[in-house]
């Protein structure tokens, strides 16, 4: 028996307390499940027990399954996974039937789940198998089933129970989108039963008066039918037909887990409850065995968590920033200020004049006004955050900051000038950072008094919401400086990756070839819609043409010009640059100007691809979809490999996490390196060689891949640990 | 090979497929049996004259379930020795019934059949028999299944038919159907529907709107735009199969799509010897038939490849065929057929089609084959082809020639 659960008996109520040792948050393991089963069985068998409360000894109930264990499960093969899942179902079902006579449905003991806070994944599926769910009224608690976000679906009976409880229509956002919510919202959505200040007492009171019928789930009562209709009822037919369509429309067919989930729901809806659980287990086994779930768990959970916990941070004491200075109150500076202030950091926001600083602060206020309107923030929160942001035009006021981030216009001379001024004022121990998306920072370091305390930070736009931060080091950046930048990013709840200074760093280095490949395809005469659809069907958030419209064609032209200047004779993107130039010559600069590859209405809403593209770039026969997709995916992947070979990025975990969080690289793949493992390096090399013949040397096979192919190596071991290269 | 001949063809008038439609009170069993009895009476057949009755019917549930074909035989004047086979190839069921019967005759299995079909759409709702293809995710997701209306709009988008062209074809269908009725061209085929007292329930097509013009149609709202562009978003599903399209142009609506109606139709088929034995004159020979499967997303393009296949197998050219009946499931289906074969409107659906008169799913194939034969005779032409698009991506065609 493990120590995950404790058992006490109080006034005839067995209280089973989940309190996993050495963890701040409970996560479920198969061993812990066995312990729970023993205690539940004991409570059900003990004549002195008239009711059972399952709760947590921690501030929250549970965060879910131990995903590392799930990731390991797949190595055991489908039979072992299926058997383990069925064992779990049997345990949950025993809790649900609670000793009652299945024929008369009499004689069961009431089982209440009491959640002192967050209950996610199995932390909700387990309560769903109990008879009534009581949750403490906490705004910061989260209830939901987020498994879909790591390529799984709720396989602990949550899928089957929730659909039978709410119907497919109401359960869909919870299951298919992994929507998580506050206890109050979860109660409104029908996921849980009671939200109150003292859920333990409420549970005791309920147990005292629970009638036998209260313990019988609707699906265990005679005459039950699926809420909203089973698939072949008139109403259900439309819902189920629509569900498949919605999944296709939203995921573009790129993700396995939603397909498996909806099949479990559909097939389960046609059979009795226990058989539905078995079907759920078969589909769950299927997604656990699928490469996508392993890739997504490793990158988006295991490795992302490891990086956030500091796997790549210099091993130095914590260096939290209490007071952050930001120079430049434009959209970037204001976004950083907002993100920092929300994290409880005191912010001084500086710009040349009051009009600019007020505009920056207005940006922060506007963010909260929108959130208040949506009901996701309160006026008090707005006031609290804005109070932490002080504006100034006086550089001297930055002298009390632990760290100053320069976020002025992307011009090396202006930046150098501002940094030199700031360096003179900053205290010796403070860190000076430059926020830039593409400019190499080594030159800027010269402007600083102490290059060891200088670092680049690339916040993605909009800085208040984008989850990734690139921390850019020069040869002279001190580890303590890196640690402070890292800790600031963590304070702001962002995921930091550490990259070496080089043109475009990591993320923009890899996304630029993707954009250029889209432009080449357009110039070659492919249908613009094919380029865009091929990209989103890969799982890219935006097609290349739309993305260029978003960032503006002027910026694209500027990047091309700068790249051409830097690369000289090696520059190979003339085609893409010419396409951008041709668009700008038509006075089409992107979304902000109301005209780009797309047309926009007066409110800036995207309407349709610009019909003039057909005249500007003569249409020829479309290449096959697969070729367009291979080009768009490989061009990013190869660049990521080259960045790794060149030592710009040092750890494939950072490369994969950064690719997904930074530029939306097909999340189902787990990132470019994970994707190469998934497809197999042999095949990736063959695809690359094929494209090199047809499209040119930009599809050259990186030496690292050639070596790996020769040696038969992979990037990751199973379980997500990188193989050394 | 033994030849299969058509000796007679009849159909019921088509009632509006709603609770206020004239045939709403009539059972599928009764209407089916009335068609069988009409052929029996018109051709003075003995009760045991048939090898089988093959009956097309799409929504085989409730009163249309349980092998309606056999029930119809039992309810008719035919003997218990005649069995009965219900079949379902969706919209082509009535034509497929004919093809199955003809091919069995040609192969020497039986000398006489009645083939046709019925659909009481006002009584048995379309889709109420369920369909895994629409709701089983293992199929619907990967096959990119969308409703037929989206498929029809996809044809219009992919092959370049605009709203005005679709409306113009629909208005022409109405005018042609009206003119055909005025000219009594359907008189030979129509079998009025009677009650048990011999009172007429319906004796003419009820769905037609002869006043329709392209202008009146232009006012109608596209029927599939909302489910395509908003919830649940079927256009995006279609684009997964047709990624070179940015958007689907929603041109179809109630006025340029086939009407929902009640109706039935039947043909008497047999060998030359069968006709001789019963004193019947063959009207046409079933020269060939074909069926194909095609992309299930665009779904309704089947008439083109199935006709190509049939022509190829027969060593014929499209110019060798005098008249065509292409089921008017949606305007774009017919327009695609014209485009693919370079045909003008003068040889296709010359007496209107399902947009004007309605499409009783399981019966339509038999209806249009009878209409084709009547018109070949009226014009004293020789060769005709009937074809239908079919749900889930199929196509069926039948080639007849007068003898």
Beta carbons of B233 and A530 less than 8 Å apart: no
Other Cβ atoms less than 10 A from the Cβ of A366: the count is 12
Residue A106's Cβ-count burial label (10 Å; 0-12, 13-18, 19+) is exposed
Question: What residue of B is the nearest CA neighbor of A268?
Answer: B136
Q: Which residues contact A53 (CB under 8 A, 6 or more apart)?
A: A13, A14, A15, A16, A111, A112, A113, A114, A200, A203, A204, A207
The residues facing B119 across adjacent strands are B263
**A128: three-class secondary structure by DSSP:** helix
Nearest to B246 among A252, A253, A529 (CB): A529
> What pLDDT, on the 0 to 100 scale, is given for residue A199?
98
Determine, for residues A530 and B243 on separate chains, whether the beta-carbon distance falls below 8 Å.
yes
Q: What is the mean pLDDT of residues A410-433?
A: 88
Residue of A nearest to B134 (CA): A241
- Taking the CA of residue A248 and the nearest CA in chain B, the distance in Å comes to 6
Instruction: Please tell me the number of Cα atoms within 13 Å of A364 on its side-chain side.
Output: 31
How high does pLDDT run on average in chain A? 94
Cβ contact, residue pair B140, A244, below 8 Å:
yes
Q: Are A532 and A546 in contact (CB under 8 A)?
A: yes
User: Residue A389: which H helix or E strand, with range?
Assistant: strand A389-392
List alpha helices for A46-144, DSSP H.
67-73, 77-97, 122-129
Chain B nearest-CA distance from A701, in A, is 29
User: Which positions in chain A touch B148 (Cβ < 8 Å)?
Assistant: none
CB contact under 8 A, B141 and A247: yes
Residue A654: pLDDT band (50, 70, 90) is very high
Angle between helices A234-251 and B234-241 (to 10 degrees): 50
Indicate whether A720 pLDDT > 80. no
Prediction ipTM score: 0.91
Q: Which fold has domain A323-502?
A: Rossmann fold (3.40.50)
- Please say whether the dihedral angle defined by the alpha carbons of residues B334, B336, B340 and B344, taken in this order, is positive or negative: positive
| Closest CA–CA distance from residue B24 to any residue of chain A (Å) | 20
Write the pLDDT tens digit of every residue in A76-124: 999 999 999 999 999 999 999 999 998 898 989 999 999 999 999 999 9
CA distance A457 to A430: 15
The active-site residue, picked from B10, B166, B294, B389, is B389
- Residue B73 dihedral angles phi and psi, to the nearest 5°: -60, -45
Query: Count of H helices and E strands in chain A?
Result: 30, 21
User: Residues A32, A4: contact at Cβ < 8 Å?
Assistant: yes
**0.80 exceeded by the pTM?**
yes
Taking CA atoms, B256 is separated from A9, A610, B177, B252, B356, in Å, by 73, 30, 14, 6, 9
Of the candidates B380, B364, B374, which has an alpha carbon nearest to the alpha carbon of residue B58?
B364
Residues of B with CB under 8 A from a CB of A: 125, 127-128, 130, 134-138, 140-142, 144-147, 231-237, 239-240, 243-247
Q: Is A16 exposed, middle or buried (0-12, 13-18, 19+ CB in 10 A)?
A: buried
Q: What are phi and psi of A296, to 5 degrees?
A: -70, -40
Q: Could you tell me how many residues make up chain B?
A: 403
Residues of chain A positioned with their CB less than 8 A from the CB of B127: 237
Look-up of token digits 């490795």: A303
Of all residues in chain A, what percent carry a pLDDT higher than 90?
88
Angstroms from B121 CA to nearest CA on chain A: 15
Nearest residue on chain B to A625, alpha-carbon basis: B243
**pLDDT confidence of residue A375:** 83
- Name the pLDDT band for A71 (thresholds 50, 70, 90): confident
Is A725 a residue whose pLDDT tops 70? no
Render pLDDT for A526-563 as a digit per residue (tens, 0 to 9).
999 999 999 999 999 999 999 999 999 999 998 899 88
Nearest CB to A266; choose among B127, B135, B243: B135
d(CA A311, CA A306): 5
- For A5-289, the fitting CATH number among 3.55.50.30, 3.50.50.60, 3.90.226.10, 3.80.10.10 is 3.90.226.10
Q: Are strands B200-202 and B193-194 parallel, antiparallel or unpaired?
A: antiparallel
Q: Where are the domains of chain A?
A: 5-289, 323-502, 508-711
To test the contact with chain B by mutation, choose from A235, A241, A537 the residue with the greatest count of B C-beta atoms within 10 A, namely: A241
DSSP state of A453: G
Tokens of B186: 């359907």
**Residue B353: alpha-carbon gap to chain centroid:** 9
Q: Which of B10, B244, B359, B382 is catalytic?
A: B359
**How confident is the model at residue B197, as a pLDDT?**
96
Q: At what angle do helices A528-537 and B234-241 cross, to 10 degrees?
A: 100
Q: Please judge whether A247 and B247 are an interchain contact, meaning their C-beta atoms are less than 8 angstroms apart.
A: no
Q: Using CA atoms, how far apart are residues A398 and A326, in angstroms rounded to an integer? A: 9
Q: How far is it, in rounded angstroms, from Cα A182 to Cα A202?
A: 19
The DSSP code for A395 is G
pLDDT of residue B371: 98
Cβ pair A174, A162 in contact under 8 A = yes
Residue A360 has pLDDT above 90, yes or no: yes
- pLDDT for res A717: 85
Mean pLDDT in residue range A172-195: 96
Let me know if B24 is a catalytic residue: no
Contact residues on chain B for A243, CB-CB shorter than 8 A: 137, 232
Interface test with B, best of A176, A231, A248, A249 (most B CBs within 10 A): A248
List chain A residues with CB under 8 Å of B147.
241
List own/partner pairs for A478-482 with CB under 8 A and 24 or more apart: A478/A452, A478/A453, A479/A314, A479/A316, A480/A314, A480/A316, A480/A319, A481/A431, A481/A452, A481/A453, A481/A454, A481/A455, A482/A313, A482/A314, A482/A455
A505–chain B nearest CA distance, Å? 33
Distance of CA A549 to the CA centre of its chain: 24
How far CA A612 is from CA of A330, A378, A608, in Å, comes to 34, 46, 11
- For A563-603, what is each residue's pLDDT tens digit? 898 888 889 999 999 999 999 999 999 999 999 999 999 99
Q: What average pLDDT does the segment A448-453 reach?
A: 89
- Could you tell me whether strands A431-435 and A403-406 are parallel, antiparallel, or unpaired per DSSP bridges? parallel
- Kindly state the tokens that stand for A385: 């955050």
**pLDDT at residue A719, rounded to an integer:** 66
Find residue B89's DSSP bridge partners.
B91
pLDDT at residue A264 is higher than 70? yes
Which residue of B140, B233, B243 is in closest CB contact with A625? B243
pLDDT of residue B231: 87
CB contact under 8 A, A249 and B125: no
Query: Nearest CA to CA, how far is A519 from chain B (Å)?
Result: 16
CA–CA separation, A115 vs A198, rounded Å?
A: 10
Task: Report DSSP letters for A508-571, one per residue.
Answer: HHHHHHHHHHHHHHHHHT--HHHHHHHHHHTT-SS-HHHHHHHH-HHHHHHHHHHHHHHHGGG-
* Distance, C-alpha B326 to centroid of its chain: 9
- B131/B143 Cα distance (integer angstroms): 14
From the number of C-beta atoms within 10 Å of its C-beta (0-12, 13-18, 19+), residue A354 rates as exposed
Structural contact between residues A204 and A53, judged by C-beta atoms closer than 8 angstroms: yes
Domain spanning A508-711: which CATH class is it, in words?
A: mainly alpha
Q: Which of A237, A248, A625 sits opposite B237 (nearest CB)?
A: A248
Structure-model confidence comparison of residues A549 and A723, the more confident one: A549
Positions in chain B short of pLDDT 70: none
Rounded distance between C-alpha atoms, residue B329 and residue B256, angstroms: 9
B389 among known catalytic residues: yes
State both tokens at A109: 């003991």
When scoring B154, B228, B243 by the number of chain A Cβ atoms within 10 A, the one with the most, hence best to mutate, is B243
Q: Min CA distance, A199 vs chain B (Å)?
A: 39
Task: Give the chain A residue whose CA is nearest to the CA of B238.
Answer: A249
Residue A275: per-residue pLDDT: 98
Whether the pLDDT of residue A446 is over 90: the answer is no
Number of Cβ pairs < 8 A linking chain A and chain B: 93
pLDDT at A607: 95
- pLDDT(A428) > 90: no
Check if the beta carbon of residue B338 is closer than 8 Å to that of residue B345: yes
In contact, A542 and A632? CB cutoff 8 Å: no
Label residue B48 exposed, middle or buried (CB < 10 Å: 0-12, 13-18, 19+): exposed
Residues in chain B within 8 Å Cβ distance of A253:
141-142, 144, 240
Residue B201: which H helix or E strand, with range?
strand B200-202
Of the candidates B10, B67, B91, B252, the residue annotated as catalytic is B91
Element holding A658 (H helix, E strand): helix A652-663
Residue that has been written with the tokens 């383990």 in this structure? A84
DSSP A702: P
Tokens standing for residue A135: 């949750």
Residues of A in contact with B146 (CB under 8 A): 245
Q: Check if B294 is active-site.
A: no
Q: Which residues of B297-330 are buried (b: 16+ CB within 10 A; e: fewer)?
A: bbbbbbbbbbbbbbbeeeebeeeebbbbbbbbbb
Backbone Cα Rg of chain A? 28
Half-sphere exposure of A377 (CA within 13 A, CB side): 18
Q: Which residues contact A409 (CB under 8 A, 6 or more apart)?
A: A328, A330, A415
């Amino acid at each position: 028996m493990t120590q995950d659960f404790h058992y006490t008996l109080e006034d005839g109520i067995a209280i089973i307390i989940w309190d996993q040792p050495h963890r701040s948050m409970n996560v479920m393991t198969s061993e812990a499940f066995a312990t729970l089963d023993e205690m539940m069985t004991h409570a059900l068998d003990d004549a002195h027990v008239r009711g059972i409360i399952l709760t947590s000894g921690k501030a929250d109930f549970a965060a879910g399954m131990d995903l590392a264990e799930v990731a390991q499960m797949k190595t055991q093969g489908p039979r072992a996974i299926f058997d383990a899942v069925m064992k779990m179902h049997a345990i949950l079902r025993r809790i649900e039937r609670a000793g009652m006579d299945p024929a008369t449905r009499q004689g069961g003991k009431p089982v209440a789940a009491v959640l002192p806070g967050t209950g996610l994944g199995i932390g909700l599926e387990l309560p769903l198998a109990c008879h009534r769910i009581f949750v403490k009224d906490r705004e910061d608690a989260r209830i939901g089933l987020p498994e879909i976000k790591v390529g799984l679906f709720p396989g602990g009976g949550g899928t089957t129970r929730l659909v039978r409880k709410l119907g497919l229509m109401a359960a869909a956002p919870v299951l298919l989108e992994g929507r998580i919510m506050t206890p109050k919202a979860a109660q409104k959505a029908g996921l849980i039963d009671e939200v109150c200040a003292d859920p333990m007492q409420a549970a005791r009171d309920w147990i005292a008066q629970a009638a036998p019928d209260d313990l019988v789930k609707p699906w265990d009562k005679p005459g039950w039918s699926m809420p909203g209709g089973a698939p072949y009822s008139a109403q259900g037919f439309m819902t189920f037909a629509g569900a498949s369509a919605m999944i296709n429309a939203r995921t573009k067919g790129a993700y396995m887990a939603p397909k498996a989930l909806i099949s479990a729901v559909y097939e389960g809806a046609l059979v009795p409850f226990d058989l539905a659980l078995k079907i759920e287990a078969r589909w769950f086994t299927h997604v656990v065995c699928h490469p996508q779930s392993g890739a997504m768990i490793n990158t988006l959970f295991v490795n992302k968590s490891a990086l956030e916990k500091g796997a790549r941070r210099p091993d130095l004491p914590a260096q939290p920033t209490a007071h952050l200075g930001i120079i430049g109150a434009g959209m970037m500076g204001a976004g950083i200020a907002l993100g920092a202030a929300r994290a409880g950091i005191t912010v001084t926001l500086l710009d040349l004049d009051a009009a600019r600083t007020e505009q920056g602060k207005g940006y922060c206020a506007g963010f909260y006004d929108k959130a208040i309107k949506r009901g996701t923030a309160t006026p008090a929160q707005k006031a609290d955050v804005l109070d932490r942001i002080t504006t100034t035009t006086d550089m001297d006021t930055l002298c009390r900051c632990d760290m100053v981030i320069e976020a002025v216009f992307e011009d090396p001379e202006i930046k150098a000038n501002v940094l030199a001024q700031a360096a003179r004022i900053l205290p010796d121990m403070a860190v000076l950072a430059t926020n830039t998306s593409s400019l190499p920072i080594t030159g800027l370091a010269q402007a600083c008094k102490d290059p060891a305390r200088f670092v680049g930070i690339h916040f993605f736009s909009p800085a208040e919401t984008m989850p990734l931060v690139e921390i850019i080091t020069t040869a002279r950046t001190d580890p303590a400086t890196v640690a402070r930048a890292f800790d600031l990013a963590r304070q702001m709840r962002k995921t930091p990756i550490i990259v070496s200074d080089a043109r475009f760093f990591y993320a923009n280095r890899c996304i630029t070839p993707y954009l250029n490949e889209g432009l080449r395809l357009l110039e070659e005469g492919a249908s613009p819609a094919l380029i865009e659809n091929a990209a989103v069907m890969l799982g890219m958030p935006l097609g290349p043409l739309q993305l260029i419209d978003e960032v503006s064609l002027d910026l694209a032209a500027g990047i091309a010009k700068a790249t051409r200047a830097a690369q000289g004779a090696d520059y190979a993107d003339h085609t893409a640059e010419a396409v951008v130039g041709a668009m700008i010559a038509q006075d089409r600069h992107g979304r902000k100007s109301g005209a780009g590859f797309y047309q926009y209405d007066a409110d800036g809403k995207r309407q349709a691809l610009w019909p003039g593209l057909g005249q500007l770039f003569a249409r020829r026969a479309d290449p096959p979809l697969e070729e367009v997709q291979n080009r768009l995916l490989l061009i990013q992947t190869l660049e990521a490999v080259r960045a790794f070979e060149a030592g710009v990025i040092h750890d494939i975990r950072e490369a994969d996490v950064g690719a997904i969080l930074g530029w939306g690289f097909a999340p189902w793949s787990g990132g470019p390196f994970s994707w190469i493992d998934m497809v197999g390096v042999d095949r990736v090399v063959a695809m690359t060689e094929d494209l090199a013949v047809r499209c040119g040397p930009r599809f050259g096979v990186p030496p690292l891949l050639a070596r790996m192919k020769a040696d038969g190596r992979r990037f990751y071991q199973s379980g997500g640990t990188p193989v050394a290269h | 090979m033994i030849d299969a001949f058509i000796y007679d063809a009849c159909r019921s008038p088509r009632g509006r497929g709603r609770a206020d439609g004239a045939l709403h009170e009539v059972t599928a069993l009764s209407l089916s049996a009335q068609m069988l009895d009409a052929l029996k009476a018109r051709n003075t057949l003995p009760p045991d004259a048939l090898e089988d009755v093959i009956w097309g019917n799409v929504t085989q549930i409730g009163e249309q379930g349980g092998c309606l074909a056999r029930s119809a035989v039992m309810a008719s004047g035919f003997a218990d020795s005649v069995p009965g086979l219900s079949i379902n190839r969706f919209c082509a069921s009535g034509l497929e019934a004919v093809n199955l019967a003809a091919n069995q005759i040609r192969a020497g299995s039986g000398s006489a059949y009645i083939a046709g079909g019925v659909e009481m759409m006002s009584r048995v709702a379309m889709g109420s028999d369920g369909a895994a293809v629409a709701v089983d995710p293992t199929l619907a997701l990967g096959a990119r299944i969308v409703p037929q209306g989206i498929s029809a709009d996809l044809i219009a988008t992919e092959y370049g038919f605009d709203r005005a062209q679709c409306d113009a074809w629909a208005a022409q269908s109405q005018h042609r159907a009206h003119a055909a009725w005025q000219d009594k061209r359907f008189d030979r085929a129509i079998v009025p529907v009677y009650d048990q007292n011999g009172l007429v329930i319906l004796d003419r097509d009820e769905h037609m709107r002869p006043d329709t013009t392209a202008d009146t149609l232009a006012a109608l709202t596209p029927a599939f735009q909302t489910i395509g562009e908003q919830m649940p978003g079927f256009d995006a599903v279609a684009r997964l199969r047709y990624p070179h399209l940015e958007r689907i142009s929603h041109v179809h609506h109630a006025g340029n799509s086939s009407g929902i109606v009640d109706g039935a139709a039947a043909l008497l088929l047999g060998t030359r010897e069968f006709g001789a034995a019963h004193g019947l004159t063959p009207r046409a020979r079933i020269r060939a038939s074909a069926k194909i499967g095609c992309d299930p997303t665009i779904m309704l393009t089947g008439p083109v490849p199935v006709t190509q296949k049939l022509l190829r197998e027969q060593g014929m050219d499209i110019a060798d065929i005098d008249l065509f009946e292409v089921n008017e499931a949606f305007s774009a289906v017919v327009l695609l057929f014209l485009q693919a074969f370079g045909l003008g409107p003068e040889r296709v659906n010359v007496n209107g089609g399902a947009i004007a008169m309605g499409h009783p799913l399981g019966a339509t194939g038999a209806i249009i084959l009878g209409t084709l034969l009547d018109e070949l005779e009226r014009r004293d032409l020789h060769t005709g082809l009937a074809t239908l698009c079919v749900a889930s991506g199929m196509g069926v065609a039948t080639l007849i020639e007068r003898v």
